[in-house]
Amino acid sequence: MDSAPLRLGIVCYPTFGGSGVVATELGRALAERGHAIHLFSYAPPARMDAFDERIHLHEVTVSSYPLFRYPPYDLALASRLAEVAEDAELDLVHVHYAIPHALAALLVKDLVRPRRFPVVTTLHGTDITVVGQDPSYRRVTRYALERSDAITCVSEFLRLQTLEVFAPSGPVHVIPNFVDTARFRPQCTAAVRTCFSPAGEPVLMHVSNFRPVKRAALAVEAFAHVAARTRATLVMVGDGPDRPACEARAQALGVKDRVRFLGAQAGVEHILPAADLFLLPSEYESFGLAALEAMACGVVPVATRAGGLPEVVRHGVDGLLVEGDVVAGMSEQALALLGDPPRLRAMKRAAREAAEVRFARAPIVDRYEAVYRGVLGRAPAHA
């Protein structure tokens, strides 16, 4: 593979969601390889290191012109991206999330003509399953996919959905999410573990953005069943619209004093290793990055058999998958595993090994680099 450094633009949302995390981590990994990285977002991404001089952050500011009822973020992004593309002589831009990022990048293709400006689009899930299938956006989503120079998605499940809904004429490459196993590892300070487990009881954990699709309240309900039969603690990490409902549910179920709500945490890698089990009752996951980060920390995920999660979690090997009655299934699986310490220890080791072998950072970043160089090495796909 050609090793010449590239000048890359990366566009993402700045939130704690998977697409923003993956884009930021990818930018960091590429910068470590000597590539010039220009990151575009409307705020500093949650996982970005503000002191990393190898990554240039370009915040997109949207004017509050009174005529605009809704701020035109996509146009402001296109303008900023075009400016940097010319000034920094970007080789290509990699956008995470089709709408509006891919469309904004495609506009830049025209703005910088006759200079070539390839666009690589990575799909993360709801941009296809929710936004893309909305009648208001379906046609423009199809246009964005057709005009992209390369399309990647994070799971085979999502690839099949993309083919079924949009049938793009070009290939859709599956490049799974990765985890930095040097950062996410089974190392927990005694102080952190004692904070959550003062008497040495098991610790269950849930990390999400508390959106309805995560069904975080079901984690509280499953924990209540566990807590009725054994001493344990539940740690809820993150923030979002469903957090108040989760707190109310813990109160109603009589487990409020055994559930810790920590809010959004930038250093989740310091918290995850304190857990024994990771509860993920999502209605849908295109991949399940939170589960993978837990596995890297030696924590066993107990998750729903939803979307791309079976591509990450191997049931009975490095995690457990439930279907049907989620609350009953999660609580029963959790209790059975907590009651069998040798099996729990073996699955913790297997979870860590899966993260190291199947989802290690370096080989997956290699695959993104191959896509970039493949795009740059061929004739323009679109005139």
Rounded CA-CA distance 353/252 in Å is 39
Rounded CA-CA distance 187/286 in Å is 28
In 154-280, which ranges are E strands?
A: 172-174, 203-207, 233-237, 259-263, 277-280
Rounded CA-CA distance 378/83 in Å is 25
pLDDT of residue 47: 74
Strand partners, 300: 277
Residues of the chain with pLDDT under 50: 381-383
Instruction: Confirm if 40 and 10 have CB atoms less than 8 A apart.
Output: yes
DSSP string, 13-76: --SSSHHHHHHHHHHHHHHHTT-EEEEEESS--TT--TT-TTEEEEEPP----TT-SS--HHHH
So where are the chain's domains?
A: 7-178+360-377, 190-358
| Angle subtended at Cα 344 by Cα 338 and Cα 350, rounded to the nearest 5 degrees | 150
pLDDT of residue 380: 55
pLDDT of residue 382: 44
Q: Rounded to two decimals, what is the model's pTM?
A: 0.92
pLDDT of residue 298: 97
pLDDT of residue 189: 78
N residues, the chain = 383
- 133 backbone dihedrals φ, ψ, rounded to 5°: -95, -5
Burial classification of residue 275, based on how many CB atoms lie within 10 Å of its CB (0-12 exposed, 13-18 middle, 19 or more buried): buried
Instruction: Confirm if 19 and 71 have CB atoms less than 8 A apart.
Output: no
Cβ-based neighbour number of residue 334 at 10 Å? 25
pLDDT of residue 383: 36
Burial classification of residue 183, based on how many CB atoms lie within 10 Å of its CB (0-12 exposed, 13-18 middle, 19 or more buried): middle
Architecture of domain 7-178+360-377: 3-Layer(aba) Sandwich (3.40)
Q: Which two tokens stand for residue 150?
A: 């390369």
- 93 backbone dihedrals φ, ψ, rounded to 5°: -125, 140
Q: Answer positive or negative: Cα dihedral of 333, 334, 340, 346.
A: positive
pLDDT (tens digit per residue) in 150-172: 999 999 999 999 999 898 999 99
Q: How far apart are the first and last CA of the chain?
A: 27
Rounded CA-CA distance 246/200 in Å is 25
The CATH number given to 190-358 is: 3.40.50.2000
Cβ-based neighbour number of residue 200 at 10 Å? 9
Burial classification of residue 15, based on how many CB atoms lie within 10 Å of its CB (0-12 exposed, 13-18 middle, 19 or more buried): middle
Rounded CA-CA distance 185/272 in Å is 9
